Amino acid sequence: MPKIDIIEKDEYYDIDETEVLIPENIFIFDAVKKVIKDNPYLFWITVIGGVKLLPEPSFTKTFSFYIKSTLQEDKNSNENYDPTFEKLRKFGLEFSSIFENYKPLENFLLNLSNFENDYVIGLISKIKDIDEYEIRDFVEKYTNNFMSLLESLVVYSFCKNDIKKSAFVISDGSLVKFKRFRKLDNVKMFGLIKEVERNYLYQFGNSYLYNLPFLKRSAAFYLVYDDIKFLSFYMNIGKIIRLEVLDGKIEELLLIAKILKSISHVPHLYYRMPQNNLILTKLERNLKNYIMNDVLFDRFI
């Protein structure tokens, strides 16, 4: 559970259009998946990509991940070897589960944009004595969380390798993707994210925010997750965002507010209302084009 500190109470920032410049790079990233379960294995594909919003919406390159998992005990399997790992070893990855070890991911992040946009991942996730209903429930949560992490890695790599100036990145990937952004040279990175497991801002800040007058519903929160500190900034236009704290200067809060005001038409990942998600829907349709054909799995299964 993070520590929550309210740093700006009852403050509303009136933005002067001439005060700050909008980053020229504003992106929305998303991921889609398709699952094929064939006991004792789970095969699935995740396709991740983005759309650049300005000056005109345009798709970024996409990344396809083919994942193989073991859903139950396989006494004949060799835990120390899985042929699907061979492709990953080209990137210096030699571990059985991405979830269990973040440090070796650095090689993956550095090389992600330098190879073909197609990856095979082998995982060992054994489950004993579990019925079909529980397996389905596990698979949905497992694949969603894994997809969120992969989306985070793609966004991180994309920003590290492809974006040379400041950017505003909208994604519902996990928190891990911002862990090293502050170390990028000469790049100021802003991003919109959603904590995967629980929305702490709703949980702890909801009662405070909704006791304020509507036009005053603006507040900033520091959220501290062990060694990671984030700034959550609530705007009265109905957006809740969570951003990495750079210096915490008022100028940065003004810039954040300016960006939000400038992209008020952009679909918001907390509230996917039909009238607001046209861009996001087009992005998802574009990504699904890469997984419509089951033949894609032949070379993998």
pLDDT in tens, 23-53: 566 777 888 888 876 666 667 788 888 888 7
Does an H or E element contain 283, and which?
helix 278-288
Residues 212 and 119 in one domain: no
Is the model's pLDDT at 282 over the cut of 70? yes
Residues 215 and 173 in one domain: yes
**CB of 131 within 8 A of CB of 10?**
no
Predicted pLDDT of residue 135: 63
**CB of 235 within 8 A of CB of 214?**
no
Which comes out higher in pLDDT, residue 133 or 211?
A: 133
Predicted pLDDT of residue 118: 60
**Domain assignment present for 269:** no
Is the model's pLDDT at 247 over the cut of 50? no
Residues 47 and 1 in one domain: no
**Domain assignment present for 295:** no
**Domain assignment present for 6:** yes
Residues 74 and 144 in one domain: yes
Q: How confident is the model at residue 132 (pLDDT cuts 50, 70, 90)?
A: low
Residues 207 and 235 in one domain: yes
* Boundary (domain end) residue, out of 164, 193, 228: 164
Predicted pLDDT of residue 27: 75
Residues 13 and 68 in one domain: no
Residues 244 and 206 in one domain: yes
Residues 173 and 160 in one domain: no
**Domain assignment present for 221:** yes
Predicted pLDDT of residue 188: 37
Predicted pLDDT of residue 143: 74
The strand pair at 189-192 and 167-170 is best described as parallel
Starting at the earlier edge strand, list the strands of the sheet with 3-8: 3-8, 219-225, 228-235, 239-244
Residues 35 and 1 in one domain: no
What residue numbers bound the domain in which 185 lies? 1-24+169-264
Is the model's pLDDT at 127 over the cut of 80? no
State whether residue 18 is helix, strand or coil: coil
* Boundary (domain end) residue, out of 164, 196, 230: 164
State whether residue 68 is helix, strand or coil: strand
Does pTM top 0.75 for this prediction?
A: no
Residues 150 and 186 in one domain: no
- Report the domain count for the chain: 2
Phi/psi at 235 (5° precision): -110, 150
**Domain assignment present for 229:** yes
**CB of 275 within 8 A of CB of 40?**
no
Is the model's pLDDT at 145 over the cut of 70? no
* 82-103 confidence digits (pLDDT tens): 444 343 333 333 323 333 333 3
State whether residue 299 is helix, strand or coil: coil
**Domain assignment present for 185:** yes
* 167-178 confidence digits (pLDDT tens): 666 666 543 333
HSE-up of residue 265 (Cα within 13 Å, Cβ side)? 6
Q: How confident is the model at residue 239 (pLDDT cuts 50, 70, 90)?
A: very low
**Domain assignment present for 298:** no
The strand pair at 25-38 and 41-52 is best described as antiparallel
Residues 146 and 42 in one domain: yes
Residues 13 and 38 in one domain: no
In the chain, what percentage of residues exceed pLDDT 90? 0
Q: How confident is the model at residue 158 (pLDDT cuts 50, 70, 90)?
A: confident
**Domain assignment present for 189:** yes
Expressed in angstroms, the distance from the first to the final Cα of the chain is 40
* Boundary (domain end) residue, out of 149, 164, 179: 164
**CB of 61 within 8 A of CB of 118?**
no
